[in-house]
Amino acid sequence: MASETTAGPMPATMGEARGFLGYSRAQLVALVILVAALIVGPYFLYPVFLMKLLCFALFASAFNLLIGYVGLLSFGHAAYFGMGGYIAGYTAKAYGFTPEVAVIAGAAVAGIQGWIFGWIAIRRQGIYFAMITLALAQMVYFFCVQAPFTGGEDGIQAIPRGRLFGLIDLGPDMSMYWFVAAVFLAGFVMIHRVIHSPYGQVLKAIRENEPRATSLGYRTDDYKLVAFILSATIAGVAGGVKSLVFGIATLTDVHWAMSGEVVLMTLVGGLGTVFGPMVGAAVIVTMQNYLAEMGAWVTVIQGGIFVAVVLAFRRGLVGEIAHLLKVKL
Amino acid sequence: MSETSRRSVLAAGAAFAALPLSHARAQAANTIRIALLCDFSGTYRDVTGPNELACVRQAAAEFSNRGFNIEVVYADNQNRADVGSNITRTWIDRDGVDCIVDGGASSVALAVNEVVREKNKVFLNSSSATSDLTGRFCSPNLVHWTYDTYMLAKSTGGATVRAGGDSWYFITADYAFGHALERDTATFVRAAGGRVLGQARTPFPGTSDFSSFLVQAQASRAKVIGLANAGSDTINCIKQASEFGLARRGIKLASLLMFMPDVHSLGLEQTQGLICTETFYWDLNDRTRAFTRRVAGQLQSNVPLCMNHAGGYASVIHYLKAVADMGVARAKENGAEVVARMKAMPCDDDCFGPGSIRQDGRKLHPAYLFEVKAPSESHGRYDYYKLLQTTAGDEGFRPMAEGNCPLVRS
């Protein structure tokens, strides 16, 4: 599937004119549209809904960094997302950390976790890799069920949003929204930078043909591990921000179903496209939100959309659009 | 796949996306909007879900001619706290909802509780188990109606000992909820003069084979096996205990969290002799029977009423009484004032009879200890329980001083 979505690493950089910060013209247009949408969005849509969407979009983008660009299917990303949320929520509530410090703390713990888990998991490939990440994530889940600081079944409740840098009150939805939008944009641009850096090119080379990358003298395990840590850290940021937005951190976010959901988001949006995971997250989160009154049908519709995407839009929504317009998004 | 079928997929998608736009919202200052949030798709669907919606609608219908309009909306919380709190925020911020009913699973309810407090609306909780709602997390905007873990432990623990079951063995789900349930129940068993002979901790979640734990329990020669777990764990324990024939050997199972629909889906053959506590049973007295007749036509065909459903009805009735008393405009403006009015007014409804709401938001009413009938004793549809003991409202629930509710201290 990977070789179908993008050309090899070399033509990607040489065939297109690279403008500002390594964005192609199409990507630049999409980025401008994205920033415009971020600015006008809260005046048309409900800000809390948009914040949730951005958190999941960042989470899916972090996941996509691994599967889309290194070809590693991690089936345990909820562990980093959820742990980031727990740590950020706990430090904000119990120690009175300001929101940015709480999120950094959550991201740091998620990153360390990613380091340890990645170090174990990257030794295997394909399904074995996925199973190892799933098993480790389940261990995290059981840890969170038992650990006193997570509040078990009830989760951490009433997490304060606090004051940014100790100054700006994030209590009102709009100020929280600007904080979330800034974090999202920073994470998003960072992922894009990583993908288009020389390091990112090596990652793509590993994805296409790992033995050849090894024979060219790259220590592929080191490259993969760094990508894994990056992905886990950004997932932790997304989780931390989410727990501050809603004021809760619960087992939902470390449950394996969350790991599955992020796979679904990425597939629906478009594997290995920069903008795909965001669109996929938007589709899934919007459905969960607006179809909630349809009860049991939500999951059925989700399944139906997944089947439709897999059968009719193999490249995902963004992938198909990019293919149609013959650009890279 | 060909272009045509892609196009049809897109067309179908577009048609579907246009659907929600077709229903417009009525805007009226004279309308009270009540929103039911509970599980419509998962484990707790039968014990809340469509039946509770029917009960809430029934309550709204009974207040239809009091000079104000009542709208009932509902949504599935998917048993997820983030989904629940997000829906609640949207309801209050965008749709002008005045009152959230139920909430569902404890983690969801605790999250909803914080949102409702922040927005100063009303939260009528019916089906959540955690007694923290009227303890550490109590709120001036909350009434916790039907039951809580403390009351279940006290009724099932204390009243069972009074009914003769004086030696206990616990099968406990190994996480905070199970431990708390076991600890509380054991306290009441000992306080009533019973003995606790031991306990087995089962890994949670994911234990499906309880046979070795049941054998241990049987070997302890306890008269009562207390199930300090919930949901599928409880169901599996009951099924396997029935396969071991524990009931025939005179050992009683006491489930600390059990509802009529669970008994119904397991069947009397497997549940006979089981002891559990509810605060409502449809066949308790004339008033409960009258209520059951009123809602009967709107219920799901194969799910009996349980206390959560009744709690949805009764809490909304009492809320609407307070609204009618203070006027719609003021009720919409200040949720805490409505709850204060609800606490000041004595409660009386067909499901729970006379009662009152305490300062910490705890509704007080009697708790009933039931034993599930044997198939031969059951005459007629949903004739499942026989009453063993009644615990009065002011005795059954946790004393206010022990809850550490900040509202009470101030």
- Name the pLDDT band for B9 (thresholds 50, 70, 90): low
Q: Which residues of B touch A288 (CB under 8 A)?
A: 78, 83
How close B135 comes to chain A (CA, Å)?
Answer: 14
Cα angle B292-B293-B299, degrees, rounded to a multiple of 5: 65
Q: Which residues of A touch B406 (CB under 8 A)?
A: none
A275 vs B49: CA distance, rounded Å: 38
Hey, what are A269's tokens?
A: 């949006």
Hey, what are A271's tokens?
A: 């594997």
Q: What is the DSSP string of A135-201?
A: HHHHHHHHHHHH-GGGTGGG-B------EETTTEE--SHHHHHHHHHHHHHHHHHHHHHHHTSHHHH
- Name the pLDDT band for A7 (thresholds 50, 70, 90): very low
> Residue A246: which of B73, B82, B106 has the nearest Cβ?
B82
How close B128 comes to chain A (CA, Å)?
Answer: 11
- Across the interface, whether the CB atoms of B107 and A158 are under 8 A apart is answered no
Is residue A32 pLDDT above 70, yes or no? Answer: yes
Is residue A180 pLDDT above 60, yes or no? Answer: yes
Question: Residue B125 pairs with which residues in a beta bridge?
Answer: B144
In chain B, what percentage of residues exceed pLDDT 90? 64
Q: Which residues of B touch A247 (CB under 8 A)?
A: 85, 111, 114-115
- Name the pLDDT band for B83 (thresholds 50, 70, 90): confident
Q: What's the pLDDT score for residue A303?
A: 86
Among chain B residues, CA nearest to A53: B86
Q: Which residues of B touch A159 (CB under 8 A)?
A: none
- Name the pLDDT band for A14 (thresholds 50, 70, 90): very low
Q: Which residues of B touch A292 (CB under 8 A)?
A: 75-78, 83, 87
A184, A190, A191, A195: CA torsion to nearest 10 = 160
pLDDT digits 0-9 by tens, B293-316: 999 988 887 899 999 999 999 999
The one-letter amino acid at B360: D
CB-side exposure of A241: number of CA atoms within 13 Å?
A: 29
How close A157 comes to chain B (CA, Å)?
Answer: 6
**B130 close contact with A: CB closer than 8 A:** yes
B357 vs B353: CA distance, rounded Å: 13
Q: What's the pLDDT score for residue A322?
A: 87
Q: Which residues of A touch B174 (CB under 8 A)?
A: 146
Q: What is the DSSP string of B300-324?
A: -TT----HHHHHHHHHHHHHHHHHH
Is residue A19 pLDDT above 70, yes or no? Answer: no
- Across the interface, whether the CB atoms of A292 and B1 are under 8 A apart is answered no
Q: Give start and end residues of each alpha helix (H) in chain A.
A: 2-5, 9-14, 25-44, 47-69, 78-94, 99-121, 126-146, 173-195, 198-208, 210-215, 220-246, 256-269, 276-290, 297-312, 316-325
pLDDT digits 0-9 by tens, B345-385: 999 999 999 999 999 999 999 999 999 999 999 998 999 99
Residue (of B327, B351, B348) closest to B337 by Cα position? B327
Question: Residue B389 pairs with which residues in a beta bridge?
Answer: B369
Is residue B166 pLDDT above 80, yes or no? Answer: yes
pLDDT digits 0-9 by tens, B122-159: 999 999 988 889 998 999 999 999 999 999 999 999 88
Q: What is the DSSP letter of A249?
A: B
**What CATH architecture applies to the domain B31-147+286-365?**
3-Layer(aba) Sandwich (3.40)
Hey, what are B41's tokens?
A: 């798709």
- Name the pLDDT band for B5 (thresholds 50, 70, 90): low
- Across the interface, whether the CB atoms of B1 and A299 are under 8 A apart is answered no
**Options 3.40.50.300, 3.40.50.2300, 3.40.50.970, 3.40.50.20; CATH of B150-278+367-396:** 3.40.50.2300
B28 vs A23: CA distance, rounded Å: 51
Q: Which residues of B touch A151 (CB under 8 A)?
A: 176
Mean pLDDT of B244-254: 88
Mean pLDDT of B258-267: 92
- Across the interface, whether the CB atoms of A312 and B106 are under 8 A apart is answered no
Q: Which residues of B touch A312 (CB under 8 A)?
A: 1, 5-6, 9
A277 vs A284: CA distance, rounded Å: 10
Phi, psi (deg, nearest 5) at residue B378 = -85, 120
> Residue B40: which of A246, A295, A312 has the nearest Cβ?
A295
Burial of A225 per CB tally in 10 Å (0-12, 13-18, 19+):
middle
A158 vs B137: CA distance, rounded Å: 9
Q: Where are the domains of chain B?
A: 31-147+286-365, 150-278+367-396
Report the length, in residues, of chain A: 329
Strand B347-349 versus strand B353-357 pairing type: antiparallel
How close A18 comes to chain B (CA, Å)?
Answer: 33
Give yes or no for a contact between B306 and B49, defined as CB atoms under 8 angstroms apart.
no
In chain A, what percentage of residues exceed pLDDT 70? 92
Strand B367-372 versus strand B275-278 pairing type: antiparallel
Range of the domain at A115: 2-325
Q: Listing from the earlier edge strand, what are the strands of the sheet with B367-372?
A: B195-202, B167-173, B224-228, B252-255, B275-278, B367-372, B385-391
Give yes or no for a contact between A190 and A235, defined as CB atoms under 8 angstroms apart.
no
Give yes or no for a contact between A55 and A242, defined as CB atoms under 8 angstroms apart.
yes
- CA-based torsion, A169, A171, A176, A177: positive or negative: negative
- Across the interface, whether the CB atoms of B76 and A294 are under 8 A apart is answered yes
Rounded alpha-carbon distances, angstroms, from residue A116 to A32, A127, A134, A141, B114: 37, 19, 14, 16, 36
- CA-based torsion, B371, B374, B379, B382: positive or negative: positive
Domain count along chain A: 1
- Across the interface, whether the CB atoms of B83 and A299 are under 8 A apart is answered no
A44-48, A89-93, B28-32, B334-338 — which is least confidently predicted?
A: B28-32
Interface of A with B (CB under 8 A): 46, 48-49, 52, 145-146, 151-155, 157-158, 242, 246-248, 250-253, 288-290, 292-296, 298-299, 308, 311-313
How close B250 comes to chain A (CA, Å)?
Answer: 34
Mean pLDDT of B17-22: 46
pLDDT digits 0-9 by tens, A121-132: 998 888 999 999
- Across the interface, whether the CB atoms of A155 and B111 are under 8 A apart is answered yes
**B106 close contact with A: CB closer than 8 A:** yes
Phi, psi (deg, nearest 5) at residue B109 = -60, -40
**B6 close contact with A: CB closer than 8 A:** yes
B159 vs A220: CA distance, rounded Å: 66
Give yes or no for a contact between B227 and B237, defined as CB atoms under 8 angstroms apart.
yes
What is the rounded average pLDDT for all residues in chain A?
87
Mutate: best of A44, A139, A154, partner B, most B CBs <10 A: A154
The continuous run of DSSP H or E covering B36 comes out as strand B31-38
Give yes or no for a contact between B118 and B142, defined as CB atoms under 8 angstroms apart.
no
Is residue B334 pLDDT above 60, yes or no? Answer: yes
Cα B197 to the center of its chain, rounded Å: 30
- Across the interface, whether the CB atoms of B73 and A293 are under 8 A apart is answered yes
The continuous run of DSSP H or E covering B196 comes out as strand B195-202
Phi, psi (deg, nearest 5) at residue A280 = -60, -45
Q: What's the pLDDT score for residue A2?
A: 42
Find the CATH number of the domain harbouring A243: 1.10.3470
